[in-house]
Amino acid sequence: MPNLISRTCFALTIIGLSLALSSCGYNTIPTLQEQAKARWSDVQNQYQRRADLIPNLVSTVQGYAAQEKSVLTGVVEARAKATQIKVDASDLTDPDKIKAFQDAQAQLTGALGRLLAVSENYPDLKSNANFIALQSQLEGTENGIAVARRDYIDAVRAFNTALRTFPTVIWAKTAFSGEKPMAEFTAATGAATPPQVKF
């Protein structure tokens, strides 16, 4: 009989510990980390979509505004630089890598703005069906970038908060002591207003 009582106590203790662990936030840190990584993938997908649109946009503009060679070259070079900087999930805790990525994307945004401003000087270009379609896709992509960045920032904020708040801070200091806060995007100069694409 004492053996049955000790087994029952042991089983109840295991069940109690399991319930305590499941409600104490142990799984919160890896769950939030994976959500932030997934949101980062969304950010990269949106930037890649924009990079993929640029060659067609440059070709279309080039057909109408070949004399704007410096603007076209600037866009191509900014795209090349932006696509060379790779930030994977393991780099999300390095603010310098995130900043380099963000700066390259900001340069590309500026170059695109200059390219699109050129279109104002070419009425035939502004009415070209390919150009109109590319402009629409670019606008949608810019909106997608804004949404993906916002979602990433929210996911990183949740993860970073979990590393510093009770009860998950206990796990952050013990079982997940190697986890560092993830880097967020920082607001670029003039980021209070979203970039506008005008044709």
**Is residue 43 a contact partner of residue 145, using CB atoms and an 8 Å limit?**
yes
Mean pLDDT score, 3-13? 75
Tokens of 119: 């279109």
**Is residue 58 a contact partner of residue 115, using CB atoms and an 8 Å limit?**
yes
The percentage of residues in the chain with a pLDDT greater than 90, rounded to a whole number, is 52
Instruction: Give which of 92, 110, 95, 113 is closest to 37, Cα–Cα.
Output: 92
Residue 187 has pLDDT above 70, yes or no: no
Mean pLDDT score, 73-96? 93
Please list, residue by residue across 44-81, b when 16 or more beta carbons sit within 10 angstroms of its beta carbon and e when fewer do: bebbeebbebbeebbebbeebbeebeebbebbeebbeb
Question: How far is CA 116 from each of CA 24, 43, 127, rounded to the nearest angstrom?
Answer: 53, 23, 13
DSSP 128: -
Residue 189 has pLDDT above 60, yes or no: no
Of 38-47, 89-98, 125-134, the least confident:
125-134
What does the alpha-carbon distance between residue 59 and residue 42 come to, in Å, rounded to a whole number? Answer: 27
Instruction: Give which of 71, 95, 98, 103 is closest to 86, Cα–Cα.
Output: 98
Q: Name the band, by pLDDT with cuts 50, 70 and 90, for residue 19.
A: low
Mean pLDDT score, 16-35? 76
Query: What's the helix, strand, coil split of the chain in %, to 5?
Result: 75, 0, 25
Interval 124-155: pLDDT, tens: 888 888 888 998 999 999 999 999 999 999 99
The residue to which tokens 């393991």 are assigned: 90
What does the alpha-carbon distance between residue 87 and residue 44 come to, in Å, rounded to a whole number? Answer: 9
The pLDDT, as a whole number, for residue 192 is: 47
Interval 44-71: pLDDT, tens: 999 999 999 999 999 988 888 877 888 8
Q: Which domains occur in the chain, in start order?
A: 27-173 (1.20.1440.20)
Residue 194 has pLDDT above 70, yes or no: no
Mean pLDDT score, 67-82? 90
